[in-house]
Structure 1
Amino acid sequence: MKEKTNCEYCSNYIYDEEYNCYGCDIYLDEDEMGKFLRNTYDNCPHFKFNDEYKIVRKQM
């Protein structure tokens, strides 16, 4: 069973102040965008875990 990725934990999932909503910062093709909008985008190849404290741990 493949692991499902959650966009909320991705560093490419950013807040767009112009549209007042979150969205993927990566250019998605038509099929990928359809899956993203239907919330069925499993195993995204662009997923990067958003680890905000990575730099802090290196400084310690």
Structure 2
Amino acid sequence: MTKCESCVFYQYDENYDDYVCDMDLDEDEMVRFLSSQTDSCPYWRPGDDYLTARRQ
């Protein structure tokens, strides 16, 4: 499992028939992301459905 697969923003897109990152990035962030000028994704969050339930 890659880090993307465990991210809350990694969603299935029926139009592309594939999984995509569903994070809304502005133009500058998208350029940085596509040019790989970041060591790791700053928007990654664990896609744990039970995270909120455990805090209650």
Residue 48 of structure 2 corresponds to: 51
Report the count of equivalent residues: 50
Matches within 5 A, 1:1-60: 6-26=3-23, 27=25, 28-35=29-36, 42-55=39-52, 57=54
Identity %: 38
TM-score normalised according to structure 2 size: 0.64
Gaps of 5+ in 1: 36-40
**Compared with structure 1, are the counterparts of its residues 58 and 18 closer, same or farther at alpha carbon in structure 2 (3 Å cutoff)?**
same
CA RMSD of the aligned region, Å?
2.4
Q: Any stretches of 5+ residues in structure 2 without a counterpart? A: none
